[in-house]
């Protein structure tokens, strides 16, 4: 259809659409009747008009803006330069890290460490460090910083720097390095190797790092625990801890720390603690001089409860009063369980002090702790140790001694009471022994142990038969042997005596008394010798050596020699001794008598090793043998 046919005849259509209005306007513009209305006399001519436009901006606004654009502020300059510097740094870092041909990159530096993956505690780990510069420029002022945790090296700092210098392009550097490794078994130690260097034209420090791991096969320090894993509730409990180096190297400044479980009460230890009740300072340890510590305490609780002891041994940190670093640690668990049948050595202390030549009695008490009978009870005592002499063992109460195994056995064959024990019934057996003389014992350990076990068969209500066991033990520690000797002299000794050898009535005569002490083994502390001067003698107030502390009490007539620490004899013929002088003015009533100088002499002291009290008694000192002569009062 033609467009003219779609156009309305008289203006806009009824809907008043836009198309209709445009068409209406077009019709009016082309209509001839409107042209006739134009008046030529009213048409104006076009003329050019000059406008006065200034060539510069006005000072009030435009000139200020123009000047501010021409001269930026300081902060804008600073921002622009900072931004440009950042862009330059990013570009440089990109080319550096991406390995440009003329720039240094860590990717073109090989840092390889060859060495041991596993070492034993205290063993030296050997490293072969290989550095290869594959860059096209020098690595200047290069050095290798080796870092490791405290406790990795023995008595060395926690880091070490090796100066290398310049590494030229294509050059390979090989550096040998040795480091002793210490720690606990199974520890993994990290050794960090940092290659630090600079590049030409730059003061920046660059680092290439690699880490080497070493696993410890064993600790540098060995620890052993001798203690039962089962204990009766509310009973005494003992533990012996042994420490020794695993290698030939001497370990210095060694200490032991024990963390006790709840329910354990510390009572004593040998040796005594260094700090509190759980730290022992042992000093230097070698494989030839191991150390052992015996701990005694009470353990309380209920059946089936567990008590855990935690032990740490290593270097002693004096600043913090602790063990750090720890070379070895161990735990020991104890289950509280009252046995059906118990046997106990009748000694309160776990470590029993004994003396040379002493006949030591051992009593063992056993008991049925069940509510039913127990039959076929057997008690076995085992003896061992450097101080044990099996020729001196004498059993009693029907015990049989088997010398080939060093055991004594008591059972129903020789003891009728052990055939059947009713509920709560108890009994006792025992034996005696004499320790080996100290001069026949080689080595520092002069002790023996007695371990007692018991077993039997309880019969319960359903006739179920089962065997039960109980174990108890004691350590008998042999102390030192102290001998006290005394003698009288007239012509010998450090003093010049007056009067006559044979005392006479009315004449004052002086004599020298000699006390001699010998100590075969360990230190004896608090040593003292005391004696009472007979009433017929007087104190002459002369003592030699002058440094010895000898005093006389006129009121009690007691002579006291305060010895203090009595050490082991440095040689067989070198002993501790002291002389003092006394005087006698014989009376008529003494005529024909052999005078008594000292009524009684007593030595006392404490063995520093086993804590036992040592005493020696001497009978009255009489003048029946003065330089081979019997002295009697004459006229």
* DSSP for 174-210, written as a single string: EEEEEEE----TT-EEEEEEEEEEE-TT----EEEEE
Query: Looking at per-residue confidence, does 518 or 102 come out higher?
Result: 518
**Phi, psi values for residue 589, rounded to 5°:** -70, -15
Residue 16 clears pLDDT 70, i.e. is over it: no
Give the pLDDT confidence score for residue 173 in this predicted structure: 94
The structure's pTM equals 0.44
Average pLDDT over residues 513-538: 92
The upper half-sphere exposure of residue 456, i.e. CA atoms within 13 Å in the direction of its Cβ, equals 33
Plot region of 614 (φ>0 → left; ψ -120 to 50 → alpha; else → beta): beta
Average pLDDT over residues 437-454: 86
Name the percent of the chain lying above pLDDT 90: 44
Name the percent of the chain lying above pLDDT 70: 82
Residue 250 clears pLDDT 70, i.e. is over it: yes
Give the pLDDT confidence score for residue 96 in this predicted structure: 52
Q: Which of 408-412, 490-494, 540-544 has the lowest mean pLDDT?
A: 490-494
> Position of tokens 């044990």?
388
Q: Which token pair is 516?
A: 């001699």
Give the pLDDT confidence score for residue 233 in this predicted structure: 80
**Band of the pLDDT at 428, cuts 50, 70, 90?**
very high
Are residues 128 and 182 in contact, defined by beta-carbon separation less than 8 angstroms?
no
- What is the separation of C-alpha 406 from the centre of its chain, rounded to a whole number of angstroms? 37
CA distance 248 to 226: 24
Give the pLDDT confidence score for residue 349 in this predicted structure: 78
Give the pLDDT confidence score for residue 551 in this predicted structure: 96
Average pLDDT, the chain: 83
Kindly write down the DSSP assignment for every residue of 255-306, as one continuous string: EEEEEPPTTEEEEEEES--SBTTTEEEEEEEBTTB-EEEEEEEEE---TT-E
Q: Are strands 374-384 and 447-458 parallel, antiparallel or unpaired?
A: antiparallel
Return the DSSP state at 11: S
CA distance 253 to 317: 9
Average pLDDT over residues 333-342: 84
The upper half-sphere exposure of residue 534, i.e. CA atoms within 13 Å in the direction of its Cβ, equals 20
**pLDDT tens, position by position, 30-84:** 655 555 555 555 555 656 666 666 666 555 445 544 454 455 566 677 777 778 8
Give the pLDDT confidence score for residue 11 in this predicted structure: 44
DSSP H helices, 465-614, are none
Sheet holding 341-345, edge to edge: 341-345, 360-368, 426-433, 394-395
**pLDDT tens, position by position, 131-157:** 999 999 999 999 999 988 665 654 456
Q: Is the peptide bond before 132 cis (omega within 30 degrees of 0)?
A: no
**pLDDT tens, position by position, 185-224:** 778 888 999 999 999 988 899 999 999 988 888 788 889 9
């Amino acid at each position: 259809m033609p467009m003219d046919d779609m156009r309305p005849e008289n203006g806009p259509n009824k809907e008043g659409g836009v198309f209709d209005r445009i068409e209406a306007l077009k019709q009016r513009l082309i209509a001839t009747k409107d042209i006739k209305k134009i008046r030529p006399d009213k048409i104006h001519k076009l003329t050019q008009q000059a406008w006065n436009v200034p060539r510069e901006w006005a000072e009030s606004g435009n000139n200020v803006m123009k000047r501010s654009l021409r001269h930026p502020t300081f902060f804008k300059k600073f921002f622009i330069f900072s931004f440009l510097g950042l862009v330059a740094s990013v570009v440089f870092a990109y080319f550096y890290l991406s390995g440009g041909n003329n720039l240094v990159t860590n990717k073109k530096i090989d840092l390889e460490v060859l060495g041991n993956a596993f070492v034993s505690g205290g063993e030296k780990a050997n490293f072969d460090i290989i550095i290869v510069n594959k860059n096209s420029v020098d690595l200047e002022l290069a050095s290798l910083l080796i870092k490791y945790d405290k406790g990795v090296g023995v008595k060395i700092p926690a880091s070490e720097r090796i100066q290398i210098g310049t590494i030229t392009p294509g050059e390979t550097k090989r550096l040998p390095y040795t480091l002793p490794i210490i720690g606990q078994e199974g520890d993994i130690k990290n050794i960090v190797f940092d290659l630090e260097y600079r590049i030409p034209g730059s003061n920046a420090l660059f680092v290439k790092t690699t880490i080497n791991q070493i696993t410890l096969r064993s600790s540098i320090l060995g620890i052993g625990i001798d203690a039962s894993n089962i204990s009766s509730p509310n009973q005494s409990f003992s533990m012996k801890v042994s420490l020794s180096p695993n290698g030939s190297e001497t370990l210095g400044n060694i200490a032991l720390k024990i963390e006790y479980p709840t329910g354990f009460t510390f009572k004593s230890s040998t040796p005594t603690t260094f700090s509190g009740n759980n730290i022992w300072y042992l000093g230097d340890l070698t494989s030839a001089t191991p150390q052992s510590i015996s701990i005694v305490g009470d353990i309380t609780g209920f059946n089936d409860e567990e008590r855990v002891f935690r032990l740490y041994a290593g270097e002693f940190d004096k600043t913090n009063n602790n063990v750090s670093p720890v070379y070895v640690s161990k735990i020991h668990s104890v289950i509280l369980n009252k046995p059906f049948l118990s046997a106990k050595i009748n000694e309160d202390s776990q470590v029993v002090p004994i003396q040379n030549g002493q006949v030591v009695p051992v009593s063992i008490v056993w008991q049925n702790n069940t509510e039913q009978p127990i039959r076929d009870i057997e008690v076995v005592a085992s003896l061992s140790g450097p101080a044990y002499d099996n020729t001196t063992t004498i059993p009693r109460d029907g015990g049989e001694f088997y010398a080939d195994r060093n055991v004594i056995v008591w059972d129903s064959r020789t003891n009728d009471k052990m055939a059947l024990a009713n509920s709560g019934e108890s009994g006792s057996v025992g034996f005696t022994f004499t320790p080996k003389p100290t001069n026949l014992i080689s080595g520092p350990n002069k002790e023996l142990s007695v371990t007692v076990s018991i077993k039997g068969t309880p019969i319960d209500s359903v006739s179920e038969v089962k065997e039960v066991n109980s174990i108890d033990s004691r350590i008998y520690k042999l102390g030192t042997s102290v001998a006290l000797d005394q003698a009288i002299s007239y012509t010998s000794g450090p003093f010049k005596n007056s009067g006559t050898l044979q005392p006479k009535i009315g004449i004052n005569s002086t004599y020298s008394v000699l006390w001699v002490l010998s100590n075969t083994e360990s230190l004896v502390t608090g040593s003292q010798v005391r004696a009472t001067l007979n009433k017929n003698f007087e104190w002459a107030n002369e003592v030699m050596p002058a440094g010895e502390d000898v005093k006389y009490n006129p009121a009690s007539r007691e002579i006291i020699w305060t010895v203090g620490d009595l050490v082991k004899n440095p040689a067989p013929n070198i002993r501790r001794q002291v002389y003092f002088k006394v005087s006698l003015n014989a009376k008529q009533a003494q005529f024909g008598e052999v005078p008594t100088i000292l009524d009684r002499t007593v030595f006392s002291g404490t063995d520093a090793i086993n804590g036992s009290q040592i005493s020696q008694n001497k009978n009255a000192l009489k003048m029946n043998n003065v330089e081979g002569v019997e002295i009697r009062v004459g006229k």
